[in-house]
Chains A and B, each alone.
Chain A
Amino acid sequence: MNDNLSPYILTLVTFMPLAGGLLLVLLPRRDRDIRIFSLVVSLLTFVLSLHLPVHFHRAQAGFQFEVNNQWITSPNIHYHMGIDGISLWLVVLTTFLTPLCVLISWKSVHDRVKEFFILLLILETALIGVFTSLDLFLFYFFWEATLIPMALLIGVFGHERKVYAAVKFFMYTMIASVFMLAAILWLYAQTGSFDFVLIRDQIIQGKVANFPAAAQWLFLGFFLAFAVKVPLFPFHTWLPDAHVEAPTAGSVLLAGVLLKMGTYGMLRFNLGLFPEQSRHNAPWIMILALIGIIYGALVALVQPNMKKLIAYSSVSHLGFVVLGIFSFTQLGLDGAVFVMLAHGISTGGLFMLAGILHERRHTYEIGEYGGLASPMPVYAATYLVIVLASVGLPLLNGFVGEFLVLSGAFQKRAVYGVLAATGVIWSAGYLLWMYQRVFYGKVTHEVNNSLDDMGGFERAAVWPCAVAALVMGIAPILWLGAIDPGVQAALAAPAHLAAKVVGQ
């Protein structure tokens, strides 16, 4: 097997964008060259990252493509990377969305172009690093490293209230993540290691001193950091602000990947390190998730601002993910991971589409549009595909994940399933209603008659999302085949619990 690349592939994929970003610093300020260079770097990263699913052993549980080198001897920090079926697709999602972000920003970013693409590439490295790290320290390192480029993207390249949104985003996530840092440090103090696998094994074998007394607090420390990132109700208030003010590419990565850092963290670290506490706390977390699903949907329903509407729909969709994770059923977890990916594609697409309108009219107000189907037919058709994917129409990607999560929730408790199912109905409501108001009927504002349809770069940015949504909807098994063993490992609970929960 031609697999010589495997020991280095994760390092390559992770740091390729950073290397590109650093090279970009040296490049002269010729905007066109900078754009082309960024596109090449991000596409190259995407192609490289395809090595992962191609050579991934699907049936095999545990981590693959592992690298584990000592980085710092004291404290005992390792450069430990590896992926399983869960993180595999999140890495690919990140590398898939970044070139699209470059394309969608091609014309919309004209000021400080160099800085913009440098930040974008640095952000990509940090995001990939979050998903590939298996050392808690390394994970925290990348986790915090995502903050700066994202905050700068919002604060420098955003819209009117950008500074407020950037600072709010930064402070919210920063304050929450220091609790995770405290928890990580506690674990290190007791185990002398930051290695996720090692600590997990020690915890399961009951070898960690004082663990039972501290476990609940540690669980909460991790959970708080992740819950703010997801964002789980009631920690979601930063999200609409950040989204509305962020530039399009920022929104795409924020919704598409950054939020998944939270749910991924829950799946990997809360479930992995604190299986018992996760099960103890599942009831209230599931209730918060349900509130998030319904509340997010209801607020989305009444939003006059298109981007805010999509932002609240994210709160609702991410509620599904959390619900699926804490249902502790195979179906629910499979679904949760799938929703993460599907949401990344479809919401990423929606934000790009919203950005395209903003580009032309400089407003996100739904009331400013109407009847756009006639001046912009291609745009309208693309929009429809993405909206339907987000709504959860069968044969598109949104359906598969939500269906699995709902089945999981039903298995857990029927009433959870019923309540969550209303979320699906609501989402059809707010998205289709928005679609109707924007595209159907007569053109209500004279200016809208002369709007240009999608340009070449815009098509190149959005259509891959539509295609991916379709493929994921038709052949979800391509993804689920790898997700399933990963989820099983995450579900593998301490023996005495395992019998009770997984046995259904």
Chain B
Amino acid sequence: MTLPLAQFIPQGADYVRILPELVLSVFGIVIMLLDPLVDEEKSQKTLGLIGLAGAVAGLLATWYMAQSPGLAFSDMVRVNRFSVFFHALVIAIAAVIILSSFEYMAVQRIRAGEYYALILFSVVGMGLMSSAVELVLIFIALEISSISTYILAGFRRNEAASSESSLKYFLLGSFATAFFLYGVAMMFGATGSTNVETISRTLQGGSVPFLVYVGTALMLVGLGFKVAAAPLHVWTPDVYEGAPAPVVGFMSTAPKAVAFAVLLRIVFTVNEPGRFWLIWVAAALSMTLGNLGALVQTNVKRLLAYSSIAHAGYLLVAFAMTTSENSANGISAAMFYTAAYAAMNVGAFAVISHFANAGEKYVTLEDYEGLGRSSPLLAATLTVFLLSLIGIPMTGGFFAKFYVFSAALRANLVWLTLIGVVNSAIGAYYYLRIIVVMYMREARREVPVTPIPLGLGLALAISLVATIYLGILPNRVLDYAQQSALEVLPQRTTSSPASAPPPTALNQGP
């Protein structure tokens, strides 16, 4: 069929719908350009501040973008509450990470302006992932974000562990994205389209070709790797252990959040058949293996790596919904979970990166002994994050788990819920161990605790406020997530024909 060329020429509105990505790219490029020009000693802070300004500008751009929802770039990008939610989330994470990186970079003597640029570029990819409704674009966005994180993981250049981490992440990650791409190809073969919404309509309409099942499984493998869900989780502990602490805080939250966003789109918008048991098993396995693995860890970074596997498992519980009514609950629960998890995990890693000191010397449980006495404030802050990770009331982590399990029970997933709640009780043990060593043991050796600098203090304060806010007044975020959930679900009425009219006509005003 022949289409008028005019349809492919982007309008102004199209650019508005990728405004955050544009803004972030510009700031990233500015940092790259300035890096060789400014003095190496003093440049770090300046470049970091530009990065921070970029993130703030990105947030503003997100707000501006949110005013004009709709499709853009020939139906490849869809701006709605769902994508705005994840844009805001990942950019906020990036801002907090940049804040907590100032001190870390100085202490570790890492001089590289591109660090901040890479964070911004990675966020560009993530933003695009959350708004893309075209599988190929999702793949490209995934690569943009992944490649940046591969490099970030290796930023402690003098450490073998960091290079190992980077290489491992890169090799396995590329392997996994290949799976994803293969799945996309299968989907295209089966349905003749790579557009998520078109595929959804095709599948709703008639019989399901066998290739769809294969494609679904392959795409789940690729994304399962990104979110570190069992049995594709093996890379996580090694990579997290070697990578710089603030980067771990970043990559355990932001890329995961958007990978879950893509998963939400693929699982619920496409609404493929035959995914239920895949997700059920992955969820149960992730929760169990993650928690059991964490029980025996003595390195705090490894411990939180296993914990992140377990949390991926809790999150996946929300994906095991089949009817559309339950799915809306599942989607909003998952969205809330990603936000709550981001708040507490970024915070926890901010504490760890401050405490680790030069060369990340102090990252074992033993080093945390007596922290409650030597630095009550730092210990109390970490305690709040850990309690949130356990899921104690008054913290975001509690409501996150609560919504997920509540949605699961509504969908009658009694066994999965039981596995989940038992797991979260087991999980309490290893988080508690950190609290125990901080408060209940005396320090056996001297561990220097430096005062908290402004940037880090700000990062901690933001994470802390977010964690507690989500634990006491979860309403607003949840409402927003619930409204977004309806946008992710496939539209029952075929509102738009296959060849879409100009994007502006499709506004789904807020």
A residues adjacent to B (C-beta < 8 A):
72-75, 112, 115, 140-142, 144-145, 147-148, 151-152, 155-156, 162-163, 166-167, 170-171, 174-175, 178-179, 181-182, 185-186, 188-189
Complex partner residue of B405 from A74, A112, A181, CB under 8 angstroms: A181
* B-chain residues with CB within 8 Å of residue A151 when the two chains form the complex: 432
Complex partner residue of B436 from A115, A166, A188, CB under 8 angstroms: A166
**Pairwise interchain contact B439-A182, C-beta atoms closer than 8 A:** no
**Pairwise interchain contact A74-B440, C-beta atoms closer than 8 A:** no
How many angstroms between the C-alpha atoms of A148 and B414 in the bound complex?
Answer: 28
Complex partner residue of B422 from A147, A152, A175, CB under 8 angstroms: A175
Known pairs A148-B392, A188-B406; A178 contacts B424 (CB<8 A):
yes
**Pairwise interchain contact A167-B406, C-beta atoms closer than 8 A:** no
B396-417 to A contact mask, C-beta < 8 Å, 1/0: 0010001101100110001001
**Pairwise interchain contact A74-B422, C-beta atoms closer than 8 A:** no
Complex partner residue of A144 from B392, B403, B436, B474, CB under 8 angstroms: B392
B375 → chain A closest CB, angstroms: 13
Some 28 contacts from A to B, beta carbons below 8 A apart, are A72-B478, A73-B479, A74-B475, A74-B478, A75-B402, A75-B406, A140-B393, A141-B394, A142-B393, A144-B398, A152-B435, A152-B439, A155-B436, A155-B440, A156-B439, A163-B436, A163-B440, A167-B429, A170-B428, A171-B432, A174-B428, A175-B425, A178-B421, A182-B421, A185-B406, A186-B414, A188-B406, A188-B409
B440 → chain A closest CB, angstroms: 4
A125 → chain B closest CB, angstroms: 11
Cβ of B482 under 8 Å from chain A: yes
How many angstroms between the C-alpha atoms of A167 and B432 in the bound complex?
Answer: 8
**Pairwise interchain contact B479-A182, C-beta atoms closer than 8 A:** no
| 10 A-B pairs with the lowest CB-CB distances in the bound complex, closest first | A178-B421, A141-B393, A175-B425, A189-B410, A155-B440, A189-B409, A178-B425, A185-B409, A163-B440, A185-B406
How many angstroms between the C-alpha atoms of A444 and B240 in the bound complex?
Answer: 62
A177 → chain B closest CB, angstroms: 8
**Pairwise interchain contact B428-A171, C-beta atoms closer than 8 A:** yes
Determine the residue in chain B with the shortest Cβ distance to A158.
Answer: B440
Cβ of B234 under 8 Å from chain A: no
* B-chain residues with CB within 8 Å of residue A152 when the two chains form the complex: 435, 439
B residues adjacent to A (C-beta < 8 A):
372-373, 376, 387, 392-394, 398, 402-403, 405-406, 409-410, 414, 417-418, 421-422, 424-426, 428-429, 432-433, 435-436, 439-441, 473-475, 478-479, 482
Known pairs A75-B406, A163-B441; A145 contacts B392 (CB<8 A):
yes
How many angstroms between the C-alpha atoms of A224 and B373 in the bound complex?
Answer: 37
A170 → chain B closest CB, angstroms: 6
* A-chain residues with CB within 8 Å of residue B414 when the two chains form the complex: 186
How many angstroms between the C-alpha atoms of A75 and B417 in the bound complex?
Answer: 17
Complex partner residue of A174 from B406, B425, B435, CB under 8 angstroms: B425
How many angstroms between the C-alpha atoms of A216 and B402 in the bound complex?
Answer: 23
* B-chain residues with CB within 8 Å of residue A155 when the two chains form the complex: 436, 439-440
How many angstroms between the C-alpha atoms of A385 and B376 in the bound complex?
Answer: 43
A195 → chain B closest CB, angstroms: 15
Determine the residue in chain B with the shortest Cβ distance to A141.
Answer: B393
Q: List 14 additional contacts besides A72-B478, A73-B475; criterion CB under 8 Å.
A: A74-B482, A75-B402, A115-B376, A144-B393, A148-B392, A155-B439, A167-B432, A167-B436, A171-B432, A174-B425, A179-B421, A185-B406, A186-B414, A189-B410
Determine the residue in chain B with the shortest Cβ distance to A114.
Answer: B376
**Pairwise interchain contact A181-B421, C-beta atoms closer than 8 A:** yes
**Pairwise interchain contact B410-A72, C-beta atoms closer than 8 A:** no
B271 → chain A closest CB, angstroms: 22
A152 → chain B closest CB, angstroms: 7
Determine the residue in chain B with the shortest Cβ distance to A70.
Answer: B475
Complex partner residue of B474 from A72, A170, A178, A179, CB under 8 angstroms: A72
**Pairwise interchain contact B394-A145, C-beta atoms closer than 8 A:** yes
B413 → chain A closest CB, angstroms: 10
* A-chain residues with CB within 8 Å of residue B418 when the two chains form the complex: 182
* A-chain residues with CB within 8 Å of residue B373 when the two chains form the complex: 112
B294 → chain A closest CB, angstroms: 15
* B-chain residues with CB within 8 Å of residue A170 when the two chains form the complex: 428, 432
**Pairwise interchain contact B482-A156, C-beta atoms closer than 8 A:** no
* B-chain residues with CB within 8 Å of residue A145 when the two chains form the complex: 392-394
* B-chain residues with CB within 8 Å of residue A73 when the two chains form the complex: 475, 479
* B-chain residues with CB within 8 Å of residue A174 when the two chains form the complex: 425, 428
A472 → chain B closest CB, angstroms: 34
**Pairwise interchain contact A171-B429, C-beta atoms closer than 8 A:** yes
B183 → chain A closest CB, angstroms: 33
Determine the residue in chain A with the shortest Cβ distance to B481.
Answer: A74
* A-chain residues with CB within 8 Å of residue B436 when the two chains form the complex: 155, 163, 166-167
**Pairwise interchain contact B440-A147, C-beta atoms closer than 8 A:** no
B464 → chain A closest CB, angstroms: 13
Known pairs A145-B393, A162-B440; A74 contacts B409 (CB<8 A):
no
Determine the residue in chain B with the shortest Cβ distance to A152.
Answer: B439
B475 → chain A closest CB, angstroms: 5
A366 → chain B closest CB, angstroms: 28
Known pairs A145-B393, A147-B392, A182-B418; A171 contacts B425 (CB<8 A):
yes
A183 → chain B closest CB, angstroms: 10
Determine the residue in chain B with the shortest Cβ distance to A142.
Answer: B393
How many angstroms between the C-alpha atoms of A438 and B164 in the bound complex?
Answer: 66
* B-chain residues with CB within 8 Å of residue A178 when the two chains form the complex: 421-422, 424-425
* B-chain residues with CB within 8 Å of residue A74 when the two chains form the complex: 475, 478-479, 482
* A-chain residues with CB within 8 Å of residue B398 when the two chains form the complex: 144
**Pairwise interchain contact A182-B409, C-beta atoms closer than 8 A:** yes
B331 → chain A closest CB, angstroms: 13
B292 → chain A closest CB, angstroms: 15
How many angstroms between the C-alpha atoms of A75 and B478 in the bound complex?
Answer: 9
* A-chain residues with CB within 8 Å of residue B376 when the two chains form the complex: 115
How many angstroms between the C-alpha atoms of A450 and B418 in the bound complex?
Answer: 58
How many angstroms between the C-alpha atoms of A496 and B433 in the bound complex?
Answer: 51
* B-chain residues with CB within 8 Å of residue A75 when the two chains form the complex: 402-403, 406
* A-chain residues with CB within 8 Å of residue B402 when the two chains form the complex: 75, 185
**Pairwise interchain contact A186-B478, C-beta atoms closer than 8 A:** no
Determine the residue in chain B with the shortest Cβ distance to A126.
Answer: B393
How many angstroms between the C-alpha atoms of A303 and B441 in the bound complex?
Answer: 29
A25 → chain B closest CB, angstroms: 9
Determine the residue in chain B with the shortest Cβ distance to A144.
Answer: B393
* A-chain residues with CB within 8 Å of residue B405 when the two chains form the complex: 181-182, 185
Known pairs A74-B479, A162-B440, A189-B410; A182 contacts B474 (CB<8 A):
no
How many angstroms between the C-alpha atoms of A481 and B295 in the bound complex?
Answer: 52
A458 → chain B closest CB, angstroms: 27
B221 → chain A closest CB, angstroms: 31
Determine the residue in chain A with the shortest Cβ distance to B372.
Answer: A156
* B-chain residues with CB within 8 Å of residue A144 when the two chains form the complex: 392-393, 398
How many angstroms between the C-alpha atoms of A185 and B482 in the bound complex?
Answer: 19
B480 → chain A closest CB, angstroms: 11
* A-chain residues with CB within 8 Å of residue B441 when the two chains form the complex: 163
How many angstroms between the C-alpha atoms of A140 and B401 in the bound complex?
Answer: 14
Determine the residue in chain A with the shortest Cβ distance to B412.
Answer: A189
Complex partner residue of A166 from B392, B440, B479, CB under 8 angstroms: B440
A335 → chain B closest CB, angstroms: 33
How many angstroms between the C-alpha atoms of A142 and B392 in the bound complex?
Answer: 10
Determine the residue in chain B with the shortest Cβ distance to A170.
Answer: B432
* A-chain residues with CB within 8 Å of residue B478 when the two chains form the complex: 72, 74
* A-chain residues with CB within 8 Å of residue B482 when the two chains form the complex: 74
* A-chain residues with CB within 8 Å of residue B394 when the two chains form the complex: 141, 145
How many angstroms between the C-alpha atoms of A115 and B394 in the bound complex?
Answer: 19
How many angstroms between the C-alpha atoms of A151 and B422 in the bound complex?
Answer: 20
B468 → chain A closest CB, angstroms: 12
* B-chain residues with CB within 8 Å of residue A166 when the two chains form the complex: 436, 440
Determine the residue in chain B with the shortest Cβ distance to A217.
Answer: B414
How many angstroms between the C-alpha atoms of A179 and B398 in the bound complex?
Answer: 15
How many angstroms between the C-alpha atoms of A166 and B410 in the bound complex?
Answer: 35
How many angstroms between the C-alpha atoms of A45 and B220 in the bound complex?
Answer: 56
**Pairwise interchain contact B440-A148, C-beta atoms closer than 8 A:** no
How many angstroms between the C-alpha atoms of A170 and B398 in the bound complex?
Answer: 17
Determine the residue in chain B with the shortest Cβ distance to A138.
Answer: B393
* A-chain residues with CB within 8 Å of residue B422 when the two chains form the complex: 175, 178
